[in-house]
Structure 1
């Protein structure tokens, strides 16, 4: 099997598994309990928080642990809206290509009279037009939320540039960095954001854990529903083993980030070169700046879900979009600048790589790709209507 769906999830690393097992076995107490066993668990929790705080060059109290990227996004948005000095109706600006967890939450907020939401389209290059964003700002604009890296195209948004424009406008700025954390250096954007959201299982940690970084100047007001965990922002017993494992895997990825980034750049270039050289009927989506771990492609003549099934039959795991959006019939919103119509959008597939991806994996993908598309052409199957395997 060749796994090429790292943007959906990653396997737990050896260090993450080791830490999880150790903490689950030896530090099993409830971190909120007042006895010594609970205190030992609390010590582990705070050590994990300190590790992430060091990564983000902040103090431990600015890190909030969650159940994953989705909760991180929802909790971040709601916390920033509560902290906003704007009274009355609040205006939110986001892109049309935000992750589904945030996009549909904002859609729901927009139905309330308390909130107004502006969704900005992507430009032809897949990036937000900063002038359009600035023109969308209103006197009651409280929050801007722009995803750093698209999970479907890998295109990087100009977060630092946007943040610089918002610095003197009394508007909170949030970015979902789930796809870039551990793969890209986030230090250039840290001075210009008020909040970042991350997820453990994208960086070789366990599923069911995430975190939020809040800038020190953000007031962390407790949730209106009385809760007693994570600065009063969320309820539920804290999963200390998973959090410790997450911090260990995140630290490991950050320590290897330059080496892994070079490897990913090489793998992406090799993959795209071989696609062209061997005339594989897949068109990679390209933009001005892209995270090298993600390569979205448009197939020439066949629907993406059938291509994905054929790759699966041949031992290669790819996707047709965000695993968080399975069940939605619509095409990924982030690819709209790169397609001429909806039918072309249905031919989208995604390869996503990691430091574990090898040259041999790429060669095998190309070989199987040629075999798959050659057979599809010969059989002249109408994949959009009926398929007989």
Structure 2
């Protein structure tokens, strides 16, 4: 049976050139970047070279980029570390939106429940855009940190972080952005953005899992969460994942160099997918929950009204099509998406939503093949 992988927002296949770079790094011999002998110096050189490459492509200074184990750790370090530093100045108010990744929401809730912070959660509209008036009203001289996702991982909505950052800085608060989904899709010049902290992850851009990064603008107060050595400018103790770091830098380099050609291609894949499903299922109610004109080019969330999400996912999997609901399966029962709930979608749309996300390896030909399969499944379930 042929397989179709349309879940790139969850994780992406590793690019062959990334694999080659990682293998070469692992074969160069043992080396801890903290050691002073030749092997350690070689490892340190690879580490610095990768950091220089990544920071150059992101438009920041090398000493402003900290390597982590991925997006979740980056979010945790940014939020908990910055919030604790701000609390020392008497600021204990946090703000986030209702459609954040759980790594952000749960970190904020943990601080509120365990360290006495006040938490405000801002609402969004039906396309997932943050309520700017509500955000402005919530900001005060007590606000320590605001964290807003850049590109939403379930529906692809891209927030106006420049506008948000300017509002946040007017009250002297720090601004953190979860940019895990927009890395490789959006051109960054971090030193030109009103952002203090920004989180990234390698495995969303055809790099390895288990490696990510956090941009910490010069002068941003932050407390380390891990205790140990002095690695990463004392911000993140522990021996660096050298092969992963080299893989991350290689993957980002490929993304940046191919972005101009790749983005129009993946946009065409997504738009063609929607077009084919609408044609195949013109007699059936399907609703696009994503902003196709302004959202991320590789993500589309679609409700097949009348077809339960869980049933749809099972049938698609049996047909060889890998997709996601954007929801978590807990104790055998499907927990409906907090993102779609926050967007105020009706129950029938909420209970029938499926996320499709495209990337390396996908082609127009397989999009056309898979659309026919999806349509046949929807028709069969309806009948």
TM-score interval, normalised by the smaller of the two chains? over 0.9
- After TM superposition, give the deviation of residue 307 of structure 1 in Å: 0.6
Whether 1:117 and 2:116 are equivalent positions in the alignment is no
1:386 is matched with: none
What are structure 2's unaligned runs of at least 5 residues? Answer: none
- After TM superposition, give the deviation of residue 169 of structure 1 in Å: 2.1
Whether 1:327 and 2:325 are equivalent positions in the alignment is no
In 2, the alpha carbon distance for the partners of 1:207 and 1:150 equals 20
2:32 partner SS:
coil
Whether 1:304 and 2:306 are equivalent positions in the alignment is no
- After TM superposition, give the deviation of residue 23 of structure 1 in Å: 0.3
- After TM superposition, give the deviation of residue 223 of structure 1 in Å: 4.7
Query: Structure 1's 315 and 224: CA in aligned 2 closer, same or farther, altered over 3 A?
Result: closer
Whether the 8 Å CA contact 1:27–1:41 is kept in 2: the answer is no
Whether 1:229 and 2:235 are equivalent positions in the alignment is no
In 2, the alpha carbon distance for the partners of 1:309 and 1:76 equals 37
In 1, the alpha carbon distance for the partners of 2:186 and 2:29 equals 33
Whether 1:252 and 2:257 are equivalent positions in the alignment is no
2:165 is matched with: 163
1:284 is matched with: 288
What are structure 1's unaligned runs of at least 5 residues? Answer: 379-389
Whether the 8 Å CA contact 1:203–1:249 is kept in 2: the answer is yes
- After TM superposition, give the deviation of residue 355 of structure 1 in Å: 4.3
2:232 partner SS:
coil
In 1, the alpha carbon distance for the partners of 2:360 and 2:133 equals 37
* Deviation digits for residues 175-197 of structure 1 (CA, Å, limit 9, x no counterpart): 00100100122348952111110
1:377 is matched with: 382
Whether the 8 Å CA contact 2:77–2:224 is kept in 1: the answer is no
In 1, the alpha carbon distance for the partners of 2:87 and 2:219 equals 13
Query: Structure 1's 14 and 264: CA in aligned 2 closer, same or farther, altered over 3 A?
Result: same
In 2, the alpha carbon distance for the partners of 1:32 and 1:147 equals 34
In 2, the alpha carbon distance for the partners of 1:224 and 1:31 equals 18
1:382 is matched with: none
Identify which range, 235-244 or 90-99, moves more after superposition. 235-244
Among candidates 333, 347, 358, match of residue 353 of structure 1: 358
In 2, the alpha carbon distance for the partners of 1:191 and 1:83 equals 22
Identify which range, 5-14 or 82-91, moves more after superposition. 82-91
Whether the 8 Å CA contact 1:160–1:188 is kept in 2: the answer is no
1:273 partner SS:
helix
Query: Structure 1's 173 and 27: CA in aligned 2 closer, same or farther, altered over 3 A?
Result: farther
- After TM superposition, give the deviation of residue 229 of structure 1 in Å: 1.8
* Deviation digits for residues 48-72 of structure 1 (CA, Å, limit 9, x no counterpart): 1111110121211101000011001
Whether the 8 Å CA contact 2:169–2:175 is kept in 1: the answer is no
Identify which range, 157-166 or 223-232, moves more after superposition. 223-232
Among candidates 191, 196, 201, match of residue 198 of structure 2: 196
Whether the 8 Å CA contact 1:223–1:232 is kept in 2: the answer is no
- After TM superposition, give the deviation of residue 137 of structure 1 in Å: 1.1
* Deviation digits for residues 276-334 of structure 1 (CA, Å, limit 9, x no counterpart): 11226432213362101001111111211211111111111111116xx4438432222
In 2, the alpha carbon distance for the partners of 1:161 and 1:146 equals 12
2:25 is matched with: 23
- After TM superposition, give the deviation of residue 139 of structure 1 in Å: 2.2
Q: Please report the RMSD computed on the Cα atoms of aligned residues, expressed in angstroms.
A: 2.0
Q: How many residues align?
A: 375
Identify which range, 59-68 or 270-279, moves more after superposition. 270-279
Among candidates 340, 358, 371, match of residue 346 of structure 2: 340
How high is the TM-score relative to the length of structure 1? 0.91
Whether 1:364 and 2:361 are equivalent positions in the alignment is no
In 2, the alpha carbon distance for the partners of 1:27 and 1:184 equals 36
In 1, the alpha carbon distance for the partners of 2:15 and 2:129 equals 33
* Deviation digits for residues 96-148 of structure 1 (CA, Å, limit 9, x no counterpart): 11101111111111113531111111123310011110100122101110000
Whether the 8 Å CA contact 1:260–1:355 is kept in 2: the answer is no
1:178 partner SS:
coil
- After TM superposition, give the deviation of residue 353 of structure 1 in Å: 0.5
How high is the TM-score relative to the length of structure 2? 0.92
1:339 partner SS:
coil
Identify which range, 268-277 or 175-184, moves more after superposition. 268-277
Whether the 8 Å CA contact 1:83–1:218 is kept in 2: the answer is no
